[in-house]
Chain A
Amino acid sequence: MLRKCLSSILLATALCSGTAYAGDVRFVVPPYSSETEPFFKEVEKDFEAANPGINLVLEFTSWETLNQKLTTDIAAGSPPDLALIGTRSLTDYAAQGVAEPLDAHMTPAFKEVFIESFFSPSMIDGKLMGLPFAASARAMIVNKELFEKAGAKPPTTWDEFMGAARQISKLPGTYGFGLQGQGVEVDAYYFYALFSFGGRILKEDGMSALNSPEAIAAAQSYKQLIDDGATQPTPTSYGEAETFALFKQGKVGMVFTFPMLIPQIKKEAPNLKYEVLPIPVKTTSATYGITDTLMMFSGAKSKDEAWKVIEFLYQDKYRAAFDEREGLLPVTKAVAASDYYQKDPDMKAFTALLPVAHFAPLIPNFDQIADITVRALQRVYLGEETPEVALNRAATEIDVLRKK
C-alpha cells in the first residue's frame, strides 16, 4: 500500500483519493455526546436495510475540526453529500455557492413535519439552504438546597440574581454563580447577560454592538460578581466541563446551561435538587439559542439518494430518539407534542424559552469574531482591562472584519 501510494505521489496523481462510489451517500456528523455515534449507526443500519443499493457512509469528526474538514473536502473537489453544521456557518457555505438549495426537494407533506419558525435561520436570499436539525435554548439551573441554606429566593430579575449570588457565596466553600471564562462558549455565556440587558451582538447596520452601553453594563455586572467573590475564583480557568462540574458537586448555586446538562446531573449527581428557570431579566426577557442545520452540498455526487437519507432521518421515531438521547429541543411538530417534551418539567422549562431565544447572527467569519469577543471578555474577567476599553477595542476589530 505504502509503495503504491508513494509512487502515486511521485506521479502527482490522486490514485488513492476517496473511496466513494455512485450510490454512496457521505454524511459528515460532528458528535454532540457519546450517544451520537451509536444513534447514527443505528440509523445507518435501518436505512441500508430499507434501501438496498444505497450505502450510507458516516464520517464522524469533532465540532472543533468540522469546518476545517468540510473546507478541505470542498477545496479538494470531493465534498460530502450531507453534513450537520452549526447554523451560523451556513452563510459561509451559501456565499461560496457550495450549499444546495433544498426547495426543489421539499414536498408540502414533508414541510409539515417541521416547526415553521425554525426554517427562518436557514433561509438565505429567499431560498431554503438547509433543514433545522437540532435546537437548544439556554436556561438557568439553580441548586435549591444551597438557596434554602443561604435563605435566598431563586431570582427572576438580574438584581435579585446578583443579590442571590452574593448571599450564597457567604456559605463556606460555595460560590453563588458559576461563570465560564474559558473554552469555546465564553461568548455564549456572556450573551445571556448581554441579551438580558437589552443588548445585541450586531447593530442594525451590521457592525458590532459590543461597544453599546448595554453590552458594557452587562460585562460590568459579571466583573462585579467576580470582584465580590460571588463567582468561583479565577473564572478564566473554567471551561464548560469544569464549570458544570462545580454545579454537579453542589458547589455553585446557579449556572446558565443547555438541556444536555440534565441527563448528566441525573447520572452523576442523582441527589442534587435542582430547578430549571428562565435567565434573570434586567430589561428584556431573553436567552441565547443555538440551532444546527442539516445541509446538502451542491457538489454532492448522489443528491437523490442523499434526499432519501434526509426523509428517513426525519421520521418521528428517529427524531424523538435523537432529541431525547442528546437532551436537545424538538424541531419537529410531532416530537414537540410528545409526552416527554410536554410533561417533563425540565424540558418544558427549556422549551418555554424558545420564543424569546436570540440566535447567533448569520454572518461570515463568525469564528474569528467569536475569538475576538472571547479575548476581550477574558481580559475583563482577569481585570487586565475595563469593560469599556476591552469591548470598544473588540468592536473596532470586529468592524474591520465586517467591512471586508
Chain B
Amino acid sequence: MGLFTRSRPIRSLLCWLLLAPLIALNLFPFAVMLSTALRPRDEIFINPQRWLPSRLAVENFSDMWTSVDYGAAVLNSLYVAAASVALVLLVGIPSAYALSRYDFRWKRKYQLFLLITQMVSPIVLALGLFRLFVWLGWIDSLDPVAIVVAAFNLAFSVMMLFNYFSTIPRDIEEAAWIDGASATTSLIRIFLPLALPALSVTAMFTFVEVWNEFVITLTLVRSSEHFTLPLEVHALASNLYELKWHHIMAAVLVATLPVTVLFMWLQRYLVGGMTAGAVK
C-alpha cells in the first residue's frame, strides 16, 4: 500500500538501510555505557581512546555499588515507583470508571482539567511545590515525591484506563446489578478482573515514568540516603574533583537495563493502543 512497490526482499533491505543511521545513533549510548562500565580505572581518560578495554573490569559494578550505597538508591527508586503506581491506580481507577460509565455535567470540564494537568511540567511548578512542602514541613522525604509524581502521572493513567474501560461492555455489570449485586460489588468482583490487563499495562507505564523521574526528586530530596537512581547518577556525575566514569556508566547500566527490557516488551501495547484508538 505504500511508497515502495518493489519485491519484499529488496524493500526490506532498503528499509533497513534507511533506518540504519538512526538505529546506530540509538544504540551508540548503550555501546558507550558497556564499553566504559567494563574498563579499569586507568583506562578512562585516555587519548587516543579505544572501544575495548585491556581486560573486563567487572569489579566496577561491585566497587560502585558499595562506594555509593547503590542498593539504597535502588530501594528508594522501587519505593517511590511502587507507592506512586499504587496511588495512581487507587485514585485513577474510580476516575476512569466514572468517565467511562457515567454521563455527568462537568465530564468535559474534568477531561480538560486532566489535560491541563498533563501539560503542566513539574519544572514550572518546582519552586511552588518546594515551598508547599517546606510549609508542610515535609521536605527531604520520599513520600511527597511519590505523591507529586503520582499527581503528574494521573491524567495519563486515567485516560489510558478510560479507553480500555470503554471497550468493556456495560451489559455485564448491569446484569450483575439486576442479579442484586451492589454497584461497588459489581465493580470489584466483575469489572476489575475484566480490566486486569489494562490495569497492569497502565501500572507498568507509570512505573517506567516514575523510575526515570528527575526534576521533582531533585527539588524535594536533599540527603543522599533518599536519592533515587537518576539522582544518584546525577550526583556521581557532578562530583567536583574526580569523575569516575567507569562507575557512573556502571550505575547507568544497572538503572537502565531492567527498565529497557520492560519497555521493549511494553512498546507493543503502546503502538497497539494507539491503533485501537484510531480505529474507533
A is bound by B: yes
Query: A363 to chain B: closest CB distance in Å?
Result: 22
CB pair A76–B139 under 8 Å, yes or no, is yes
Query: B260 to chain A: closest CB distance in Å?
Result: 27
Contacts of B222 in A (CB 8 A): 59, 61, 65, 68-69, 72
Q: Which of B4-12, B18-26, B143-151 interfaces with chain A? A: B143-151
Tell me the bound Cα distance from A33 to B47 in angstroms. Answer: 26
Contacts of A77 in B (CB 8 A): 137
CB pair B224–A61 under 8 Å, yes or no, is yes
Tell me the bound Cα distance from A249 to B43 in angstroms. Answer: 10
Tell me the bound Cα distance from A1 to B142 in angstroms. Answer: 11
Contacts of B240 in A (CB 8 A): 63, 183-185, 239-241
CB pair A249–B47 under 8 Å, yes or no, is yes
Contact of B139 among A6, A59, A60, A72 (CB under 8 A): A72
CB pair B243–A241 under 8 Å, yes or no, is yes
CB pair A60–B242 under 8 Å, yes or no, is no
CB pair B136–A34 under 8 Å, yes or no, is no
Q: Is A284 an interface residue (CB 8 A)?
A: no
Query: A246 to chain B: closest CB distance in Å?
Result: 8
CB pair A249–B139 under 8 Å, yes or no, is no
Contact of B242 among A8, A61, A63, A241 (CB under 8 A): A241
Nearest A residue to B82 via CB reads A2
Query: A366 to chain B: closest CB distance in Å?
Result: 17
Contacts of B140 in A (CB 8 A): 69, 72
Tell me the bound Cα distance from A171 to B78 in angstroms. Answer: 53
Q: Is A9 an interface residue (CB 8 A)?
A: yes
Contact of A33 among B225, B235, B242, B243 (CB under 8 A): B242
CB pair B47–A5 under 8 Å, yes or no, is no
Which residues of B115-152 are within 8 A (CB) of A?
130, 134-141, 143-144, 146-147
Q: Is A62 an interface residue (CB 8 A)?
A: yes
Tell me the bound Cα distance from A246 to B47 in angstroms. Answer: 10
Q: Which of A10-18, A147-155, A374-382, A390-398 interfaces with chain B? A: A10-18
Query: A398 to chain B: closest CB distance in Å?
Result: 24
CB pair B134–A72 under 8 Å, yes or no, is yes
Contacts of B146 in A (CB 8 A): 2
Which residues of A43-97 are within 8 A (CB) of B?
59-65, 68-69, 72-73, 75-78
Contact of A251 among B47, B137, B224, B239 (CB under 8 A): B47
Nearest B residue to A66 via CB reads B222
CB pair B87–A2 under 8 Å, yes or no, is yes
CB pair A268–B238 under 8 Å, yes or no, is no
Q: Is B223 an interface residue (CB 8 A)?
A: yes
CB pair B137–A248 under 8 Å, yes or no, is no
Which residues of A193-250 are within 8 A (CB) of B?
239-242, 244-246, 248-249
Q: Is A401 an interface residue (CB 8 A)?
A: no
Tell me the bound Cα distance from A239 to B223 in angstroms. Answer: 25
Which residues of A166-191 are within 8 A (CB) of B?
173, 183-185
Contact of A260 among B41, B42, B139, B241 (CB under 8 A): B241
Q: Is B67 an interface residue (CB 8 A)?
A: yes
Q: Is B45 an interface residue (CB 8 A)?
A: yes
Contacts of A240 in B (CB 8 A): 240-241
CB pair A5–B144 under 8 Å, yes or no, is yes
Q: Is B46 an interface residue (CB 8 A)?
A: yes
Contact of B141 among A16, A68, A183, A245 (CB under 8 A): A16
Contacts of B176 in A (CB 8 A): none
Query: B185 to chain A: closest CB distance in Å?
Result: 23
Query: B153 to chain A: closest CB distance in Å?
Result: 14
Q: A60-B223, A61-B224, A183-B240 are in contact. Are A1 and B143 (CB under 8 A)?
A: yes
Q: Is A264 an interface residue (CB 8 A)?
A: yes
Which residues of B1-56 are within 8 A (CB) of A?
41-42, 44-47
Instruction: Please encode chain B, from 212 to 255, with 1 for each CB lying within 8 Å of some chain A CB and 0 for all others.
Output: 00000000001111000000000100111111000000000000
Q: A64-B238, A241-B242, A249-B45 are in contact. Are A14 and B143 (CB under 8 A)?
A: no
CB pair B223–A268 under 8 Å, yes or no, is no
Query: A4 to chain B: closest CB distance in Å?
Result: 9
Q: Is B83 an interface residue (CB 8 A)?
A: yes
Tell me the bound Cα distance from A218 to B76 in angstroms. Answer: 48
Nearest A residue to B144 via CB reads A5
Q: Is B208 an interface residue (CB 8 A)?
A: no
Contacts of B223 in A (CB 8 A): 59-61, 69
Contact of A264 among B44, B67, B239, B242 (CB under 8 A): B242
Contacts of A1 in B (CB 8 A): 83, 143
CB pair A5–B224 under 8 Å, yes or no, is no
CB pair B134–A75 under 8 Å, yes or no, is yes
Q: Is B259 an interface residue (CB 8 A)?
A: no
Q: Is B201 an interface residue (CB 8 A)?
A: no
Contacts of A239 in B (CB 8 A): 240
CB pair B138–A2 under 8 Å, yes or no, is no
Query: B202 to chain A: closest CB distance in Å?
Result: 18
Query: B174 to chain A: closest CB distance in Å?
Result: 32
Interface residues of B (CB under 8 A from A): 41-42, 44-47, 67, 83, 86-87, 130, 134-141, 143-144, 146-147, 222-225, 235, 238-243
A2-B147, A76-B137, A264-B241 given; 4 more Cβ-contact pairs under 8 Å: A18-B137, A61-B222, A62-B238, A268-B42
17 pairs of residues in contact across A and B, judged by CB atoms under 8 Å: A1-B143, A2-B143, A5-B138, A12-B136, A17-B137, A18-B137, A33-B241, A61-B224, A62-B224, A62-B235, A64-B238, A69-B140, A72-B140, A183-B240, A244-B242, A245-B243, A269-B42
Interface residues of A (CB under 8 A from B): 1-2, 5-6, 8-9, 12-14, 16-18, 33-34, 59-65, 68-69, 72-73, 75-78, 173, 183-185, 239-242, 244-246, 248-249, 251, 260-261, 264, 268-269
